[in-house]
Structure 1
Amino acid sequence: MHTVAVLALDQVIPFDLSTPLEVFARTRLPDGRTAYQVRVCAERPQVDAGTFTLTAPWALDALAAADTIIVPGTADPAAPISPAVRDALRAAAKDGTRIASLCTGAFPLAATGLLDGLRATTHWVAADLLAATHPEIEVDPDVLYVDNGQILTSAGAAAGLDLCLHMIRSDYGSAVAADAARLSVVPLEREGGQAQFIVHPHTPTPQGSALEPLLGWLQEDLGRELTLADIAARAGLSTRTLIRRFRDQTGVTPLQWLHRARVRQAQHLLETTAHSVERIGAQVGFGSPTAFRDRFKRTTGVSPQAYRRAFGPLS
């Protein structure tokens, strides 16, 4: 039997705590045996969970006996972790224990140094804070979860469920994971693959940057047909210099920035209007409906129609 230790920190998010408890505890093997033993562990017997006080049956020393440790999200991601928690997680990692964070649980996990040099994710609302606080981590705000092998991280609450099912599939195969998904009344593979549904009302613009006027000009009318040469001419730069400055200041090329801005504007239109997908694609500057659907799905993980079904106006 596989042992899962759920680490309860102060201000733990109740949903993030209950998700692994429910999913792993209810998983059964084909012969009916229990697949996981689940233990709630904490530094102190009583844990402040905000809306209630939690009693943890196991102390931190139980982490050493676990095959998997889950670090749920916390309501205060900036809160420091105690040396005892830090040392217990580091020791478990040194022994090869699998450690996974859910949502803002990436913050206490990052504080141990175990995410240094790795790709990781968290809830998209907190992704910028994680990147600013821990620049040594490659923060990817666009995915549901990241599996680095021993160390795993997930995005928001529902993505934590996706990650738990992913780990069950890794441990026992797709059939057992599919049964666990059915018990949770969710698909084993959620539509959208591994993309978070992120709504950005505006494409980020580096304030005070020399590119700010150019980015503002691009944002004014995303429906224009523009080439790299057009953008470079507007900036008064060579295409090579433009690309270099864009990468330095935004992390992407000019055309990548433009494509993302167009997709984000399309998200807004899909949420707030009844315009056809074809009309929206044209409005935001894609040359054909096929190009729009392809770019939208590559960026968000779902088709425009699926996005509208999830977030569009009620009819």
Structure 2
Amino acid sequence: MQPHRVVVLALDGVYPFELGIPARVFHAADGRYEVLTCSADGGPVRSGADFSVLVEHGPEILRTADTVVIPSIAPDRVPTELSGPVRAALATIRPGTRLVSICTGAYVLAAAGLLDGRPATTHWQLSDHFRHLYPQVRVTPDVLFVDDGDVLTSSGAASGIDVCLHIVRADHGGAVANHAARACVMPPFRDGGQAQYVEQPVPAPTATGTAATQQWALEHLDEPLTLARLAQHAGMSLRTFNRRFRDETGLSPGRWLIQQRLLRARQLLETSDLPVDLVAGQVGFAGGASLRQHLHAAIGVSPQAYRRTFRAPRAAEEKKPAVPTG
């Protein structure tokens, strides 16, 4: 089977770290993706650091892409108007091709009119500037990434990894995405709706943090986990626990629990034959109807549809007869 082709368009001012994210993540998906890098004119690209980048391809490969990624560029080089070569390069992209931006790469998509009427995000520090330049875009400033089907936009450097892992998960399921995440030494899943900026992105390893309670909760997802019970485990008042939890995760305890329960449910749907009601019970939802409601709200499909998508292909592969050797 031909691998899914991802073409990364490097533009003037590109940040080297973000430029390398697609190759690093998608190459970790065991051959399911091919990643190529091009420039708008086929020549070297001045990066946002003190060196230039020599790419292997010109804009002609954009018309062969299944997914196009626009990495972030230095804020002082974000376009208010696209140059002729960049506009011509984008015009070669086939209709229906998935488009992805990392951080300020959203400016390029917006300048090309590809975000008109759509929800999108970019770095939180630039959201007002972005909204002023492109009022026709429905800016969502406080999330890690926005998935609008064939167009995905992400907020900052690390969220570029999040959106690429999200794409792997959407294309091939949690097992493949988790494998890619482990290869990159990254958390396998951060909800796109998680806040971009939190006061303590990495909780201090002290008795005053909530990290131990988060781990305990993950081991007891099948039980009723009220805010009061979580606060009691952490040895804090309700108000203090809620505040510290939000500071450390960017989410409310309730939203974080739903996210973790959905992640566990998706793993069970992919790897087990348990009925939906039993899956719901094992991850702490009140029943199958509750799981269906939350899963549909999160990713737009039912548990049965999710299982058919991500379990059937692997089951078919397992049934293939072994190829004789010798």
What are the within-5 Å matches in structure 2 for residues 200-239 of structure 1?
A: none
CA distance in 2, matches of 1:84, 1:276: 51
The one of 27, 36, 59 aligned to 2:33? 36
What are the within-5 Å matches in structure 2 for residues 4-83 of structure 1?
A: 4-28=6-30, 34-44=31-41, 45-49=43-47, 50-75=49-74, 76-79=76-79, 80-83=81-84
Query: Is the alpha carbon distance of 1:47 and 1:302 closer, same or farther for their aligned partners in structure 2, counting shifts above 3 Å?
Result: farther
Q: CA deviation at 1:26?
A: 2.7
What are the within-5 Å matches in structure 2 for residues 131-280 of structure 1?
A: 131-190=131-190, 194-198=193-197
User: Which sits farther off after the overlay, 293-302 or 55-64?
Assistant: 293-302
CA distance in 2, matches of 1:87, 1:121: 24
Equivalent pairs counted in the alignment come to: 219
**Matched residue, 1:300:** 250
**Matched residue, 1:89:** 90
**Matched residue, 1:3:** 5
In 2, are the aligned partners of 1:77 and 1:105 still within 8 Å (CA)?
no
Q: CA deviation at 1:104?
A: 0.7
1:85 is aligned with what amino acid? Answer: V
Q: CA deviation at 1:292?
A: 7.8
CA distance in 1, matches of 2:14, 2:123: 15
Q: CA deviation at 1:83?
A: 2.6
Query: Is the alpha carbon distance of 1:184 and 1:36 closer, same or farther for their aligned partners in structure 2, counting shifts above 3 Å?
Result: same
2:56 is aligned with what amino acid? Answer: P
Give 3-state SS (helix, strand or coil) of 2:68's partner.
strand
In 2, are the aligned partners of 1:122 and 1:156 still within 8 Å (CA)?
yes
1:74-101 deviation line (CA, Å, top 9, x unaligned): 0035334323322432442x52100100
Give 3-state SS (helix, strand or coil) of 1:95's partner.
coil
Query: Is the alpha carbon distance of 1:110 and 1:275 closer, same or farther for their aligned partners in structure 2, counting shifts above 3 Å?
Result: same
1:37 is aligned with what amino acid? Answer: E
TM-score in terms of structure 1 length? 0.62
Unpaired segments ≥5 residues, structure 1: 29-33, 200-263, 278-287, 307-315
RMSD: 3.2
Give 3-state SS (helix, strand or coil) of 1:7's partner.
strand
CA distance in 2, matches of 1:90, 1:289: 54
2:141 is aligned with what amino acid? Answer: P
CA distance in 1, matches of 2:209, 2:147: 37
1:72 is aligned with what amino acid? Answer: P
2:238 is aligned with what amino acid? Answer: P
CA distance in 2, matches of 1:276, 1:85: 48
Unpaired segments ≥5 residues, structure 2: 211-236, 257-326
TM-score in terms of structure 2 length? 0.60
Query: Is the alpha carbon distance of 1:119 and 1:90 closer, same or farther for their aligned partners in structure 2, counting shifts above 3 Å?
Result: farther
In 2, are the aligned partners of 1:47 and 1:53 still within 8 Å (CA)?
yes
Query: Is the alpha carbon distance of 1:78 and 1:156 closer, same or farther for their aligned partners in structure 2, counting shifts above 3 Å?
Result: same
In 1, are the aligned partners of 2:209 and 2:244 still within 8 Å (CA)?
no
